Structure 1
Amino acid sequence: MTLEDLGYNDQLEKLRNENNLKAFDIGRVISEHKERYVVKNDKGEFEAEITGHLRFSSKSREDFPAVGDWVAITIYDSDFCIIHSILPRSSAISRQDVGKFGEIQIIATNIDYALLVQAVDRDFNMNRLERYLTICNASKVDPIIVLTKIDLIDEHQTLEILEKIKTRIKNVPVIAISNESQDGYDKIKAVIEKGKTYCMLGSSGVGKSTLLNNLSGKPVMQTGTISQSTKKGKHVTSHRELVILENGGILIDNPGMREVGIADPTSGLEMTFDVIGRLSQNCKFKDCTHTNEIGCAVIEAVEKGELDHASYENYLKLEREKAHFESSVAERRKRDKEFGKMMKNYKKDINRKK
């Protein structure tokens, strides 16, 4: 196993030199378990912890290592190392941290492509696909839609689903597969390149672990049986893990996500709903919200049937969600600033009394 097998390249070596990290070994985080990590490099796999300095200098959870990160380490014995620093990330797929006010959770980093996995039987949901696409676009990661379990429906139903996707989502590859018969596997293997990193996003039970096992050529992840009540695969994966595939591609599996709140500080929504973006240029008002304004070109397109109504409704929902998250972040920062000011004044008072 070489660093290149894990995705290391000349650009990362340049970053290593620019950040004065030549004195350290370099490894890639391949799994994470509640702030304990497994790091892999050409010397082996190591249980890892971060330094106290890295912990206390981190302003948020985003500053901690995540699966996919390249890190500077010191190896202390055959199975343990300390993480000193994280190399700058080329990309980071993230979402709103569930249950944490105004926080972002990193799903995986340094990703080239994201496989958006949905089962065609009960899991298929166009709105969720657009949500995943928004996350990818905000993260500058190329999406590939993967439809699983096509053996559970007939060919006509599969074609109907493919047509639904093409109507609402443009210029994104779609691959339909069966994990049982492995129909379509030739197409998915064709898009996986040696040294490139792929991440799977999808709900529990859509067949991500089976797909990973089949692509890796060995049973890497435990797979669940089908639930008799829901007829869906049971959730098995409980953590993120990076795996080298049979053809040299690198794949990160993720636990199934029930909640996928978007944390979009960039133009992810505009890229996903680019048709709405183009139409909005003809709106009467520059600050048009596309909800009830007179002269709104977007509303007019919906009324004429030129813009899919369900996609329009999903856009409005995600826009509201984005605005709420941004206000939550601003409120949290204000609260943190006020707390910092209070502590500073408290220390001044203590020093005066002395």
Structure 2
Amino acid sequence: MKSIILRALSRPRASNPYYKGPVSDHFDGMRFFSRAQGVDKRPEEVLRWQQERKPTPWPQNFPSPFQDKPPAEVSGLRSVLIGHASFLIQVAGLNILTDPVFSKRASPLSFAGPKRVNPPGIALDDLPPIHAVLITHNHYDHLDLAALKRIWKKHRPRLIAPLGNDTIIRARHPEMQVETGDWGQSVDLGNGVRAHFTPAYHWSARGLRDRRMALWCAYVLTTPSGVIYHVGDTGFGDGQIFRDVRQLFGAPRLAHLPIGAYEPRWFMQPQHMNPEDAVRAFEILGAEQALGHHWGTFRLTDEGVEEPPEALAAALREAGLSSGRFKPLRPGEAWSHSLG
């Protein structure tokens, strides 16, 4: 079995099935990459993690005390965690979803893979009219094609994704219109809101042989209510991506920063921040407010279900920062800022 898995992980593809475009400083003609990020994990390292892992047990259910029924429109800025990295951002009369995952499992299979331990903090039927959906990358805990189909059928939103992800979406749902962009590009969402594609230290894959063949990103939203920075997944790396956001767009009014899926560090550090990393990123950004996500819904790695918020509280104390400035949200929990 071990030799079969190793062969499957290491067998190269002959071509990129998702994207064909010019070579750039982060695309070699076949795969996307980041010069500041380490090389891919070897198949032997993946197997080592699986064989040596000693995960902290998770409960079968970890219900949130919150359940949100959002208004149709807000005048200021409101952000609600639906679960994991799925947010509803309401700003400037627009309703924007990030990485909407509503399925019971973050998996290509309906009967296996990470199973959610709490329901979505907003029911699909309780969503207000959705104007745009922002996809950061194609991992199953961020790109839920079944949810996208239901959202598209009811709301007909603009679907925004980094390069190559349109091919993945349209292969399942050819009727969907998907707008794609590269790092450094942007799209106008209307009402004074613009979505900018910015780098993240992560990777992509839908299977064993398509690693880094579709681009991944974070988003900066420039809005009348200030700058919003949404990170789906990233490692901290050298911290330059956060310095660049502050230099290019100014200190964010609000930052969505991942704080979970980080153990064991020897394996996860290049692609997932831990709470200490997230606090460092928060300080570099100079954000007024941060909301922690990517924890407590799907068990992806080895830390316990409540360890991320506990570690975040300790990191904030160590940095001399108020806990209220960086809140680890539970599904259905809302944060809002009124105009004036």
TM above 0.5, yes or no, is no
Rg comparison, structure with higher value: 1
The TM-score with structure 1 as length reference comes to 0.24
Higher RCO (CA < 8 A, seq sep 6+): 2
